[in-house]
Amino acid sequence: MEPLLLSMGSRVIHMGDVGMAAHMKLIINQILGAILCVFAEGALAGMDSGLSAEKILFVLQSSVVACPAIQLKGPDMLGERVFTPNFPLKHALKDLRLAVETGKAMGIPTPVTQAAYGLFDAAREKGFGDRDISAVVRALTDRQERYGATSRGDPREMVARSSADFSLRFPGSASTAIRYSRIPSSSRPQPQ
């Protein structure tokens, strides 16, 4: 079996009993989802304040938070936003739901995963379920509604025109758990 597995990857690590490898995959996808959500929030805020997408990506990859997920998905999330499917957003949403349910069953709180689930669900509701996981950035923008899903343009303009606010739903919650609002330009701290 190992030669077959090595044809799909560079290493084989025995995870234990049946089901443990699937659980490990769930952990990886849970962390990936959270990373992309925080990256989207931070990068969009940085671009809205005047930083270029290129500088944000360069500095992040030279910092302690450098990671392959941002290196691989970041340019599309901040640039053209084509979202060619590699790992469909709807599958990541399913994994985040499973991670929340697993945490609940084990008595482990999952507030960060629940927040990521909410952003992924918002992007799915905007029609990005079949696009790549990187389309989660669309939960924070309204570019599709104003410009069409395939339009191109300056990411800072797209962020500046994003919706005033939106709400997130968490699995198992009928009520709104978090409400995000954009800070008006006039209220933002100005560089000295």
Percent of the chain as helix, strand, coil, to the nearest 5: 60, 5, 35
Among candidate residues 66, 69, 71, the one with its CA nearest the CA of residue 35: 69
Task: Give the tokens for residue 17.
Answer: 């009993």
For 32, residues 6+ apart whose C-beta sits below 8 A from its C-beta are 69, 92, 133
Among candidate residues 169, 84, 171, 67, the one with its CA nearest the CA of residue 133: 84
Query: Using alpha carbons only, what angle is made at residue 173 by residues 141 and 104, rounded to the nearest 5 degrees?
Result: 110
Are the C-beta atoms of 78 and 46 separated by less than 8 Å?
no
By CB atoms closer than 10 A (0-12, 13-18, 19+), residue 61 is middle
For residue 25, indicate whether it is catalytic. yes
- Exactly one of 25, 55, 94, 126 is catalytic; which is it? 25
Annotated catalytic sites, by residue?
A: 25
